[in-house]
């Protein structure tokens, strides 16, 4: 079934690479107008099925910058943001708790959790009733993550609590708030940088579907949560891990 988002507007944080880029392209392919934020590197506007995806630089851990950029994004999108995908995040490095600096702790928490809060708070004045918010959690929120990722796991668990709290708060406005918890998604900077090849292969071998996930697997799940088909689903966490972990 094709999901038609014609006339809808969307902001995807971290929307220019990896899973974020898959979100941006899936939304545009479905007819939405999309602003993708990016933190590092240069952004070249890209198109999908005739829809141009516009980029806006953003440090999502800076609340004042987030406020300004969400206002700018809403202006680009005609004054409203129907859909927000809080995708910005990262592991930032594998560090044992016993060796962890305060700086690393706050950097990981801010990148994965504070960013979701700041962006959600900033977009709400521009989001009409019936909007959709999707937050990116992780399998690590359930199983504690791999070696040296305890704070990453904690930050992604915080995203789940935030999702459920906001689902209650925004329910009266008919805005749904849900989360995605991807497992092993291959061919992303996250795993290419921080997960050794042997560990990646072990994850695949343990997965009942015997393959790694792809960014498109995650994007398709987001499309369902954004669509009218999921209008009575809120405060939920969709597990996308090929059966590697059951909640």
- Which residues are marked as active site? 152
For residue 104, give Cα distances in angstroms to 45, 90, 130, 188: 32, 12, 37, 22
Spatial separation of the C-alpha atoms in residues 198 and 218, rounded to whole Å = 23
For 187, residues 6+ apart whose C-beta sits below 8 A from its C-beta are 212, 214, 215
Helix (H, G, I), strand (E, B) or coil at 179: strand
- Residue 59's Cβ-count burial label (10 Å; 0-12, 13-18, 19+) is middle
Q: Which two tokens stand for residue 225?
A: 């949560």
Within 13 A of 46's CA, how many CA atoms are on the CB side?
17
Spatial separation of the C-alpha atoms in residues 29 and 221, rounded to whole Å = 15
Identify the DSSP state of 173: G
């Amino acid at each position: 079934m094709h999901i038609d988002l014609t006339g809808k507007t969307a902001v995807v944080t971290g929307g220019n690479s990896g899973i974020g880029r898959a979100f941006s392209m899936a939304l545009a392919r479905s007819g939405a107008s999309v602003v993708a934020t990016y933190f590092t590197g240069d952004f070249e506007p890209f198109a999908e099925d005739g829809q141009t995806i516009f980029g806006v630089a953003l440090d999502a851990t800076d609340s004042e910058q987030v406020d300004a950029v969400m206002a700018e994004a809403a202006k680009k999108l005609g004054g409203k943001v129907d859909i927000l995908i809080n995708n910005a995040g990262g592991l930032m490095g594998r560090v044992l708790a016993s060796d962890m600096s305060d700086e690393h702790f706050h950097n990981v928490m801010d990148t994965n959790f504070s960013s979701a809060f700041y962006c959600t708070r900033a977009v709400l004045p521009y989001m009409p009733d019936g909007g959709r918010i999707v937050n990116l959690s992780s399998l690590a929120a359930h199983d504690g993550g791999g070696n040296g990722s305890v704070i990453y796991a904690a930050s992604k668990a915080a995203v789940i609590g935030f999702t459920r709290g906001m689902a209650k708060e925004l329910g009266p406005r008919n805005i749904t708030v849900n989360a995605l918890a991807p497992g092993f998604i291959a061919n992303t900077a996250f795993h290419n940088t921080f997960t050794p090849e042997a560990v990646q292969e072990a994850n695949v071998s343990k997965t009942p579907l015997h393959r790694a996930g792809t960014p498109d697997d995650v994007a398709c799940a987001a499309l369902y949560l954004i669509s009218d088909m999921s209008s009575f689903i809120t405060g939920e966490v969709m597990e996308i891990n090929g059966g590697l972990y059951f909640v």
